[in-house]
Amino acid sequence: MRHLMYSLSAQKMYLYILGLVAPWFAYRWYKNSRRVPNKEDKYVYITGCDSGFGNLLARHLDKLGFNVIACCYTEKGEDELKENASDRLTTFHLDVTDSKSVSETAALIKTVVGQKGLWAVVNNAGVALPSGPTDWLTIDDYKDMIAVNLCGVIDVTLSVLPLIKKARGRVVNVASVFGRVTPFGGPYCVSKYGVESFNDSLRLNMAPFGIKVACIEPGFFKTNVTDVVGMQNNLRKLWDRLPQDVKDDYGPAFLNDSIEMMTQRFSMLTDSNLMKVVSCMEHAISAVHPRTRYSAGWDAKFFWLPVSYMPTCISDRLFRKITLL
Active site residues: 188
**What distance in Å separates the CA atoms of residue 192 and residue 146, rounded to the nearest whole number?**
9
Task: State the DSSP string of 141-157.
Answer: HHHHHHIIIIIHHHHHH
**What distance in Å separates the CA atoms of residue 31 and residue 221, rounded to the nearest whole number?**
28
3-state secondary structure 287-298: ECCCCCEEEECH
**What distance in Å separates the CA atoms of residue 247 and residue 109, rounded to the nearest whole number?**
50
According to DSSP, the β-strands at 293-296 and 170-174 are: unpaired
- Cβ–Cβ under 8 Å, residues 94 and 72: yes
**What distance in Å separates the CA atoms of residue 148 and residue 80, rounded to the nearest whole number?**
23
